[in-house]
Homo-oligomer: A and B are copies of this chain.
Amino acid sequence: MGAERVAPADVRTVACVGAGVIGGGWVAYFLARGYRVVAWDPAADAEQRLRHLVDRAWPALTELGLAEGASIDNLTYEAELADAVAEADVVQESAPEELELKRRLLADIDAVTPPQVVISSSTSGFGMTEMQVNCAHPERTVVAHPFNPPYLIPLVEVVGGEQTAADVVAWTSEFFRLAGKSVITMDREVPGFIANRLQEALWREALHMVAAGEATVEQIDQSITDGPGLRWPIQGPCLTFHLAGGQGGMAHMLDHFGPSLQAPWTRLESTELTTELRDAMVEGCEREAGDRSIDDLVAERDRGVIAVLRSLGRA
């Protein structure tokens, strides 16, 4: 009989496999949250680059507030993968984004990590279903996708593959929540997950505009940093458009501006605005708004935008 998996609250040691920009960012984050971190990376100069990255991130993390006992000294670098994962309560894999490499590496990690330990992957696009194929214990492999830099951006998208156990998805979500992350637990695999999918739609449109000579790189960036980008840390795209509907909110927005969805504003084909979709959007916004009236949300947005502008020295 194998050892039992520790509770998410009892995780003490995180193994970070792959220590580039994302893996190194995870190392810095876990150290700042008070964990012991053991890192491994096959590249020759990986340890040096990792320590440079952590050193560079540490002042910011200190300023944001370290967890009790947090220290750069809690980082160990191991030359052998098996040594790196031996004492781990959870393993975070952050290898380059190549499917065959991820498959092999996850199988290697799986072979040397005690079977009760969760192995999660930072992949930004592959589903765990296609990555876990060579693992002997695929049920404990899961995706936990961060945003760059993982030591500052709160979002982590957690989603399992076909062979992932449901309790592993739940365990992983709880672990990252307790570690201070903003977790989205997805109940199905979607290529690109949620945030990258949205980000990618915007990015493709930007490429189309540059390709067609409709906008320059600088205009595209300025249009976001000085425009809708100032609202998005405060209210996401749905709540933003909830307010575009005036006091009528999302319902008014969709019922009155729905037809303009058909306008050729992007190269992305519009979805059909069925009654079901309309209702899902309206009810979602109402749930999100909760007790807050449109006026409350407007005031909240304005306070937020002002705070953001001031914090960036742009007020």
Q: Interface of A with B (CB < 8 Å)?
A: 20-21, 56-57, 60, 63-65, 97, 125, 147-149, 152-155, 157, 182, 184, 186, 188, 190-211, 213-239, 241, 243-244, 246, 257, 260-261, 263-274, 276-277, 280-281, 283-285, 287-288, 298-299, 301-312, 314-315
Contacts and interface: CB of A to CB of B under 8 A. Distances in A.
Nearest to A199: B228
Contacts of A218: 284, 287-288
A83 to B, nearest CB: 27
Contact of A215 (B63, B186, B214): B186
Copies of this protein chain in the complex: 2
Given A182-B226, A215-B190, A207 B147 contact: no
13 contacts: A56-B298, A97-B260, A147-B228, A184-B219, A198-B205, A200-B266, A207-B270, A207-B277, A221-B236, A221-B239, A222-B236, A229-B233, A267-B271
Contacts of A267: 201, 268-269, 271
A302 B241 contact: no
Given A125-B260, A194-B209, A312 B233 contact: yes
A63 B302 CA distance: 12
Contacts of A233: 225, 229-230, 232-233, 308, 312
A264 B243 CA distance: 31
Contacts of A186: 215, 219
A221 B288 contact: yes
Nearest to A304: B312
A237 to B, nearest CB: 6
Contacts of A298: 56, 149
Nearest to A229: B232
A243 B209 CA distance: 21
By Cβ-Cβ distance, the 10 closest A-B pairs, closest first, are A217-B284, A221-B236, A229-B232, A311-B311, A155-B227, A307-B311, A268-B268, A201-B205, A192-B265, A195-B223
Contacts of A283: 217
A53 to B, nearest CB: 10
A21 B194 contact: no
A152 B302 contact: yes
Nearest to A59: B302
